[in-house]
Structure 1
Amino acid sequence: MYPSPTSGENPDDDSHSSRKRIARACDSCYKRKIKCDAAIPQCNWCSHHNIPCTFTRTTHRRRKEKIHANSQQKTSRLAERIDRIEKLLTDNLLRESVPRESSISSNTESPGFDQPPSITPIGPSSVSSSVPLHFAGRELGVVSLITGIPFLLPEGQQWIQSRTGQHIAFDKLSPARPPWEKQRAMSSSALLMDLHKVFELPERHIVEINFEAYCGSLMMRIFPIIDTALFAETIKTAYRHQNTNSPIGQAANRACIFAFLAFTSLTRIPEFDSIRQQISPVDPETFALKAQYLTPQVLQETTTLEGLQTVAMLALYELVSGNLQSANYYGSLSARMIFNLGAHTTTSQQSVLYQDPATDTDPRAQHHLRNIFWLCYTIEKDVSLRTGQPQLFVQDNCDLTLPPGYVDRLYTSLEYHHHSQELPDNPLFPVDLRLSIIKARACSALYSFKALQKTDAELLKEIRELDDELEKWRVSVPPEWRPTLSFSHETPDPNVSMHSVMLRLNYHLCMTIIHQASSRCKSWANGQGGMMEGVSSSLALSVEASRSTLLYLEAAEHVLIDGIFWTLIFYPMSAFLAIFCNILQNPIDPQATKDLGLLRTATSMMERVFLRQTCSTNEVVHIKLVADFVTELYRLAKCAIEKAWRERSA
């Protein structure tokens, strides 16, 4: 760089230098756009041409100011654009938040920014986490057949009214809760319990008598929630520290005992009757409340087997009580604890049954944890179906290897117990574990959010594969226990028992949820030849499975255990809905009249089963809601048949 001669003459002129700068080239070179060497007194060009070499040209510093101005201008334009976008979005949101009635009204004005929009609170009745209810290509409600029908969509209302010619009693047909869900209300005596006595354990002999009765019953094989040796140690530990003022560190042991008494006292087990006469009556509600009071402390402590047993038994207690929301919450806690303890996965070493349980605790505890996993897995699949909530135990994260020898021993143990009444040595679980796995796959492949995006061909492919898997399971069951494809009174069950009832009900439920998914196929509206025939036959299988559910329950009513109404109600209610929709779809079909009679007899049967259990005021109120729901279904189905025959005669 070469300083210009002018800049060297006035080095201290700050005011001048702030306004302008001297060019590096002389005036002549700058004008001709040639390189100037700025030599003194004359540059090379000026000296060669014998002309004056001057530096009189001045240049103002505008470049940075111009760039800065441009930047400010661009920023201003961007801010204006963002403001316009935000205003546009706000206007759209305000217009969407206005109810349709107000937009139709002539006196209603568009809301402005000075008038905030009304916000509708989101509740379980306005938002569904499940799949829309379809039947034969029509979307009727906001949730699936398998998860309830709280509210009918306008399209569903119009279809029902067009088929029946009747106005719908929405207070009866659209209850706030699914018909099989009851919100268990605490009694005043339980709520007014002295908080100072929350941590007090009952007399030890009460716990031991209930423990002995449970271990000697079939219920422990169906619900293997405790282990004889491990729970005996839990009782010793809890009563060893019963005088401790603070329950910290012992909350899980105490809560486990409270939850055990609540669950076993609620369960109606015939073997308990003679034994419980030795002690004063146990209030299951009070012990459940005590276990719930201790649950927050259990969650703060390190995850233990006792803590897992506590929340799992509370989930069972709420499920048997009909309170599905609480059962879902405690089931979720159970799943998280199982993940923490690693019981959702297993190794070949952990799968080996213990040889000497009295001397080796770790293998026994690992084996028991795996039993609790399978029990919670089975319960979660049922709760997910009934509530529409997503599954936690998914195949990608769990080892679904069945217990060693489970399939070989299952029906052999059932056959032996059915004839000799001696207890099997191994857990039976509430449902065949293979059926629970099929349920899980059906929910994931047909009713998950991802499943809603599948085409007709993909959906039917999933239905065929699941149907094949279910049929393989059915054929693998020994003939004396094997469910028939369709049940009728002409083909009675020779080994009818409570376990066979649950086996058949779950088989027919799997048939229903697998083939019911065909109602979402678009070919119902398009009428696509061969595919339409496959879709129609698939839906027919679903309806036939629903008929078999009601017929089998009627035939097996005499073996149903008292007190299981809320556990059982889901199966007939979901069948009611499927048969009702089918009557509306085909009211002139001869089978429709038979189905109408089936609805009437099944309703009477469910009322008799309900009356066989001890009823609280809250349960009586809820059973009236269930009765109103079924009565409205029956009335509308009857009107649909009569209307169709009148139109045909005319």
Structure 2
Amino acid sequence: MQWASDMYATPTSTPRSDDGSSAKLGEPSKRKRTARACDSCYRKKIQCDAAPKQCNWCKHHDLDCTFDRVIGGSRKKKKNGPLKDQRSSTRLAERIERIEELLSKTIANQKDATSGPIDNQSSQGSLSSSLSSNNPHPSAIGPCLGRLHFAGYNLGQISSLNGLPLLSPEGQEWVWTKTGQRGAFEKLCAFGPPWQRHRQFHTSPASSEIMRSHLSVDLPDRAAVEEYVSVYRASSIRAVFPIIDLVLFNETLRMAYESPPETIHPYGVVSAKATVLAFLSFVQIFNLDTQTPLQMDGEAYAAKSQSLAPQLVPELTLDCLQTNIMLCLYHLFSGDLQSAALLMSFSSRAVFMLGGHIRPDPKGAPTQRTATMSYETRMRLHVRNLFWLCYTLDTEIALRSGQPPSISNEHCDLTLPPHYKEILYEHSFHDDPVANDDLVVPLYPSDLQLSIIKSRAQSALYSVNTLHKSDAQLLRDIRELDDELERWRMSLPPHCRPTLAFSEDMPGNSNMSMQTIILRLAYHHTVAIIHRASGRCRAWADYKSGEMEGVSSSLALSVEASRSSLFYLRSAVHALASDCFWMILFYPMSALLTIFCNLLLDPLGPRAVQDLELLTSIPDMIRAIRIRQLTLNEILHIKLVDDVVAELTRLGRCAVVKARREGEGGALAA
């Protein structure tokens, strides 16, 4: 390659003056130098030809050829001496100073080049252009924001599937400008959408037979499936759970029903069939009925879809992601939190590999799907919707299970979808919000802003690192999260804004939507979990008056929020849908535990009797929630819930009786 040969070219013979500088057109003393090699070559430990104006190395790397390095003193190294440490510190300080100077110049150049704010993607492109005037193409931003950056160039990324480099168009253009050669990148490392970057596996005869047996899975009649798709399209469930894109799902049906079973490498066929089966289990768990009855129940379809799981791992496709999310929802709404958590872990990793954690368009995605929208654009929008669905579900599962979340905020672009707030407040608080065919931004199961606050609360208050925080650090984080939550609450329109507290004498709204109920329950629960963390403060053991005042008031807010959850749920239980029983059940159980602990802490408190009555009413409140036909495991689980509630209520009553008896005994003794 020409670039490589120039980089390591043999230095030419150049006359030098007495001070070590090269002669320049008969003027050997005009350019004063303090070193025989330029600064860049000296740092690289390579031979410098010291050509006039610019040496060979600096010329081919677009660097300033400087001779600012001062040489003096002995070059002998003294081991373990103070002079060596001083020189190392000096060199480090000079290096940091040069880096800061370069960064300052780069930022200043970017600010001069544009009058508006510079996002990460645009700054990468402008930096690349400034470093190379030979590159006519702007920076190409891939779905992972270009994991490989070198000297300001977005080169691409390392494939998460096969470990091979995927060079971006900018990276390929840069290689061409430096080598004069067009690499065989189309064959070696084709750069395309992540859902197209799969590899065909060469299978043994035994594994091929297994794959053919999976392809022979019987599917229900296609017309029946398409009828369920039509019902899903017209239902409000589609707005809350955007699990499929109607156009893309047609391709899934075509692959599942029209692919010949004798195909040798049926890539995508297994995941397409698994998606169809998972979709049928999903629509049945939400009671989306049609005129055509299906052959099996939702549990059977979920089991058949899950039986194909071993074949879904190498088939990292959009259908693979959709299958796992739908199965996760099925188990979550069936009360099987453990299976839901495992499936969500896989879904979260898959949505990262497909690039859903990055915005499809840094300048904002389109707000409406159109007939002329490209397949890739539609795919990116849908993968992004699936990311937000995974994010909200992962946050909920982590809070309910106490396990770490699978999605970390630090590795995600959490910019809300364009016009999300307007669409949320316009559609989500009606009785029956119906998803529009052209609606790109769905409602999702929870307010995305609230989900982000929940995720931050879990990281700041309930991760392993928080166990080592001081009381002051913990209370500071609680206060900051509480302020953020209050700003979110006040940003909501008055008609859907949760009240700070909800008492039993407050009237309930007879015209409640599920989104309104879930939002208010989620708000009170978030307040409770934020302030419940104050129970870890060491001040409880020391009982210092100054510290205890703030700690006890924070815990009191957690208890009051738990009471509000139960009072509000009791007023809204009549409006709950039967398919959300297992999602709602968590809120009274969490509130139950907080109030029970408060009874043990202060059994003679002014509201102890009222709290006991509130706990006693929980079993009737839970039984009042409408629920679909239960399986045997669900019946046993609900019986266990009744037993737990009854036992905690009994123990709370015993704590109150014991405290009263001891108080009366102490008074008599006095």
Bucket of the pairwise TM-score, normalised by the shorter protein: 0.5 to 0.7
Shift of 1:422: 4.9
> Which amino acid is 1:480 matched to?
H
1:309 paired residue number: 322
Instruction: Say which of 208, 211, 220 aligns to 2:238.
Output: 220
For each residue in 1:170-216, what CA deviation from the matched residue of structure 2 results, as whole angstroms up to 9, or x when unmatched? Answer: xxxxxxxxxxxxxxxxxxxxxxxxx8896121110111111111111
Does residue 204 of the first structure (1) align with residue 222 of the second (2)? yes
Q: Which moved more, 1:492-501 or 1:454-463?
A: 492-501
Call closer, same or farther: CA 1:386–1:252 in 2, change over 3 Å. Answer: same
> Which amino acid is 1:310 matched to?
T
- Conservation of the 8 A alpha-carbon contact between 2:334 and 2:634: no
- Conservation of the 8 A alpha-carbon contact between 1:350 and 1:366: no
Does residue 537 of the first structure (1) align with residue 556 of the second (2)? no
1:576 paired residue number: 592
> Which amino acid is 1:267 matched to?
F
Q: Partner of 1:291: helix, strand, or coil?
A: helix
Shift of 1:489: 3.8
Does residue 412 of the first structure (1) align with residue 426 of the second (2)? yes
**1:236 and 1:628 mapped to 2: Cα distance?**
50
Q: Partner of 1:348: helix, strand, or coil?
A: coil
2:27 paired residue number: none
- Conservation of the 8 A alpha-carbon contact between 2:220 and 2:294: no
1:261 paired residue number: 280
1:617 paired residue number: 632
**What is the root-mean-square deviation in Å for CA atoms of aligned residues?**
1.9
1:517 paired residue number: 533
Call closer, same or farther: CA 1:239–1:358 in 2, change over 3 Å. Answer: farther
- Conservation of the 8 A alpha-carbon contact between 1:547 and 1:579: yes
Query: Aligned ranges for residues 439-450 of structure 1 at < 5 Å?
Result: 439-450=454-465
Query: Aligned ranges for residues 246-285 of structure 1 at < 5 Å?
Result: 248-249=266-267, 250-268=269-287, 272-273=288-289, 276-280=290-294, 282-285=296-299
1:499 paired residue number: 515
**1:371 and 1:196 mapped to 2: Cα distance?**
29
For each residue in 1:359-387, what CA deviation from the matched residue of structure 2 results, as whole angstroms up to 9, or x when unmatched? Answer: 51111111111000000000000111111
For each residue in 1:517-569, what CA deviation from the matched residue of structure 2 results, as whole angstroms up to 9, or x when unmatched? Answer: 00000111112222211110100000011111111111111111113222221
**2:423 and 2:606 mapped to 1: Cα distance?**
44
1:643 paired residue number: 658
Does residue 628 of the first structure (1) align with residue 643 of the second (2)? yes
**1:556 and 1:245 mapped to 2: Cα distance?**
54
Instruction: Say which of 567, 585, 588 aligns to 1:551.
Output: 567
**2:257 and 2:364 mapped to 1: Cα distance?**
31
1:476 paired residue number: 491
Instruction: Say which of 598, 603, 625 aligns to 2:614.
Output: 598
**2:317 and 2:305 mapped to 1: Cα distance?**
15
For each residue in 1:419-456, what CA deviation from the matched residue of structure 2 results, as whole angstroms up to 9, or x when unmatched? Answer: x8654544111110011000100000000011111000
- Conservation of the 8 A alpha-carbon contact between 2:364 and 2:418: no
- Conservation of the 8 A alpha-carbon contact between 2:224 and 2:292: no
- Conservation of the 8 A alpha-carbon contact between 1:487 and 1:551: yes
Q: Partner of 1:609: helix, strand, or coil?
A: coil
Shift of 1:491: 3.1
**1:211 and 1:579 mapped to 2: Cα distance?**
44
Does residue 360 of the first structure (1) align with residue 374 of the second (2)? yes
**2:364 and 2:257 mapped to 1: Cα distance?**
31
**1:202 and 1:577 mapped to 2: Cα distance?**
45
Shift of 1:350: 6.6
Shift of 1:278: 3.2
Q: Partner of 2:411: helix, strand, or coil?
A: coil
For each residue in 1:70-99, what CA deviation from the matched residue of structure 2 results, as whole angstroms up to 9, or x when unmatched? Answer: xxxxxxxxxxxxxxxxxxxxxxxxxxxxxx
**1:196 and 1:309 mapped to 2: Cα distance?**
18
- Conservation of the 8 A alpha-carbon contact between 2:574 and 2:624: no
Query: Aligned ranges for residues 75-90 of structure 1 at < 5 Å?
Result: none
**2:625 and 2:521 mapped to 1: Cα distance?**
16
- Conservation of the 8 A alpha-carbon contact between 1:354 and 1:364: no
2:339 paired residue number: 326
Call closer, same or farther: CA 1:437–1:230 in 2, change over 3 Å. Answer: same
Does residue 340 of the first structure (1) align with residue 358 of the second (2)? no
- Conservation of the 8 A alpha-carbon contact between 1:505 and 1:571: yes
Call closer, same or farther: CA 1:364–1:210 in 2, change over 3 Å. Answer: same
Q: Partner of 1:307: helix, strand, or coil?
A: helix
Query: Aligned ranges for residues 452-463 of structure 1 at < 5 Å?
Result: 452-463=467-478
Call closer, same or farther: CA 1:277–1:489 in 2, change over 3 Å. Answer: farther
Instruction: Say which of 376, 380, 404 aligns to 1:390.
Output: 404
- Gap regions ≥5 residues in structure 1: 1-194
Higher relative contact order (CA 8 A, sep 6+): 1
1:240 paired residue number: 258
**1:363 and 1:349 mapped to 2: Cα distance?**
14
Call closer, same or farther: CA 1:481–1:198 in 2, change over 3 Å. Answer: farther
Call closer, same or farther: CA 1:256–1:349 in 2, change over 3 Å. Answer: farther
Query: Aligned ranges for residues 135-174 of structure 1 at < 5 Å?
Result: none
For each residue in 1:1-43, what CA deviation from the matched residue of structure 2 results, as whole angstroms up to 9, or x when unmatched? Answer: xxxxxxxxxxxxxxxxxxxxxxxxxxxxxxxxxxxxxxxxxxx
> Which amino acid is 1:617 matched to?
L
TM, length-normalised to structure 2: 0.64
Query: Aligned ranges for residues 289-308 of structure 1 at < 5 Å?
Result: 289-301=303-315, 303-308=316-321
Shift of 1:224: 0.7
Give the number of equivalent residue pairs: 447
Shift of 1:243: 4.6
Q: Partner of 1:345: helix, strand, or coil?
A: coil
> Which amino acid is 1:444 matched to?
S
- Conservation of the 8 A alpha-carbon contact between 1:523 and 1:532: yes
1:561 paired residue number: 577
Call closer, same or farther: CA 1:455–1:196 in 2, change over 3 Å. Answer: closer
Structure 1 vs Structure 2: percent identity of aligned residues? 47
1:45 paired residue number: none
**1:549 and 1:242 mapped to 2: Cα distance?**
54
Call closer, same or farther: CA 1:467–1:432 in 2, change over 3 Å. Answer: same
Shift of 1:246: 6.8
**1:198 and 1:318 mapped to 2: Cα distance?**
25
- Conservation of the 8 A alpha-carbon contact between 1:588 and 1:641: yes
- Conservation of the 8 A alpha-carbon contact between 2:240 and 2:444: yes
> Which amino acid is 1:206 matched to?
A
TM, length-normalised to structure 1: 0.66
Which protein is bigger by CA-based radius of gyration? 1
Shift of 1:649: 2.3
2:123 paired residue number: none
Q: Partner of 1:313: helix, strand, or coil?
A: helix
Call closer, same or farther: CA 1:259–1:386 in 2, change over 3 Å. Answer: same
**1:220 and 1:247 mapped to 2: Cα distance?**
33
